[in-house]
Amino acid sequence: MEKDDKTSGKRILEIIRSGLPPEAIGNALDGLDHAELLHSVLTLKDENQRELLAALTPHRAASLVEEFPDSHTAELIEEMPAGDVASIVEELSSDHRADVLAELDRDDADAIIAELDEEDANEVRELISYPPDQAGGLMMTEFASYPMSKTVREVVEDLTGDAVDYQLLTVHYVYVVVKSKKLKGVIRLRDLVFADPTKKIGDIVTPALTVSPETDLEKLEEFFDAHDIAAVPVVDSRQFLLGIVRRRAVLEALAEKSEADHLKAAGIIGGDELRSMPVLLRSKRRLAWLSINIGLNIMAASVIAFYEDTLTAVIALAVFLPIVSDMSGCSGNQAVAVSMRELTLGAALPRDVFRVWRKEAIVGLINGLALGCLLGLAAWAWKGNAILGLVVGGALAVNTVVAVSIGGTVPLILKRLKLDPAVASGPLLTTVTDMCGFMLLLGLASMVLPAIS
């Protein structure tokens, strides 16, 4: 199955290196299945993904990066010329534009913003000044607003005749303002269509529900649960209309928060990991949590070590049994979390089992050796026996490779079997890693028993 991925990725590279103009390259990619295209792009190396973005028209590149996690988009564009990035960023909706730029370092973001026109630049600076989990950070500035003096006919003609202004927004409501900024009220689009064309919109406007830019994500969730509307206007203390927050944006933010919490719980520091990222970067992110966790496990095991004088050398191995199984389980849970995320994004499919296993095995080997050395040194320092250190460290290193292999592939296998990978992956991983961990540690110890007794 991996051959298909290489073929698709190779085909994409051939297209972007063909010398065709950007429009033709976009048309060629449009001939590929959307899900397959996204999957193939995300399996390319970062430099190839940047090459693809540079080869497309800004509009087509923007439509592609809208499918990426914001942090991944930021990692791609921070290595691209600011002018090229600005042309892509201009094609994004205002809220997505702010989300991506907020992920960048301040200097990189400022360089891109400096390439935007003055109006867009000021707008982005305002949006990224708000926390991402507040209405100000979630709002978008593409909305339809008109003064009270406009007639229904004039508004309808403007909406239907000037699609460019609202191409980034599905217009559900028209907002009526006074003196260009102060919100007077709202008109549903369907009410506008059936109203008397000669009437002024100020005569048919209804009061609008509003939120402040400081309204947090939890309050926004409660608001949309209580009110069946598609978007809510955001106003400041003077009732000036700043933007709108869509119900969809709140749901997406809640999903991202839940996903981030899950990744953090699994020890993926930084979140948004994809297997197309550099191996050493992925290993570093995981080791940041695992290195700390191994220390905590050693501390917990020291309670058992308190009874050292009453235990024989073989029983001393029991101190390390929970460490080997727990640390391997943690590594496996990280692999599960990444597989679940890639399944959600379409970056991994059930047929990718071998590719996922290979990439996980590399990371597992690096992390297993690192963690095995740490635990082996601890065992050696504790008992003064280098062979014991090798047994304990070797068992953890091998079981880590086993755990990430299982954690990475089981969700894909369960998905192919039409089972819920989110529910079944954890218990399967825990059971197998515990069994393998115990067998490896005790099996290795039995082979060198005279040396550690």
Residue identified by tokens 């690096």 is: 366
Q: What is the pLDDT of residue 303?
A: 46
Q: What is the pLDDT of residue 437?
A: 78
2-128 topology per CATH: MgtE N-terminal fold (1.25.60)
Q: What is the pLDDT of residue 1?
A: 44
Angle CA 113–119–125, to nearest 5: 45
| d(C-alpha 216, C-alpha 31), whole Å | 42
Q: Which residues contact 149 (CB under 8 A, 6 or more apart)?
A: 200, 202
Query: With left for phi above 0 and alpha for psi between -120 and 50, is residue 440 left, alpha or beta?
Result: alpha
**Beta-ladder partners of 175:** 145, 186
Where are the domain boundaries for CATH 1.10.357.20 in the chain?
266-452
**Beta-ladder partners of 374:** none
pLDDT in tens for each of the 453 residues of the chain?
A: 445 555 577 888 888 888 888 888 888 887 777 777 788 888 888 888 898 898 889 988 998 888 888 888 888 998 899 999 999 999 888 888 888 998 888 889 999 999 998 888 998 999 999 998 899 999 998 888 999 999 999 998 888 875 545 554 556 899 999 987 899 999 998 899 899 999 999 999 999 999 999 999 989 999 999 999 999 999 999 999 999 999 999 998 888 777 765 665 555 555 556 665 667 777 876 776 667 667 656 665 554 455 444 345 567 787 888 898 889 889 998 998 898 888 877 788 888 899 999 999 999 999 999 999 999 999 999 888 899 899 899 989 999 999 999 999 988 998 888 876 765 566 677 777 877 877 787 788 878 877 777
Where are the domain boundaries for CATH 1.25.60.10 in the chain?
2-128
CATH code for residues 144-252: 3.10.580.10
Q: What is the pLDDT of residue 169?
A: 55
Contact 22, 29 (CB under 8 A): no
**CATH class held by domain 266-452:** mainly alpha
Q: Give Cα separations from 14 to 19, 28, 276 (angstroms).
A: 9, 11, 19
Q: What is the pLDDT of residue 287?
A: 77
Where are the domain boundaries for CATH 3.10.580.10 in the chain?
144-252
Does pTM surpass 0.75? no
Q: What is the pLDDT of residue 183?
A: 95
Using DSSP's 3-state secondary structure scheme, residue 239 falls into coil
Q: What is the pLDDT of residue 95?
A: 86
Q: What is the pLDDT of residue 289?
A: 62
Residue 140 DSSP label: B
Please give the structure tokens belonging to residue 79: 């290595």
| d(C-alpha 347, C-alpha 334), whole Å | 17
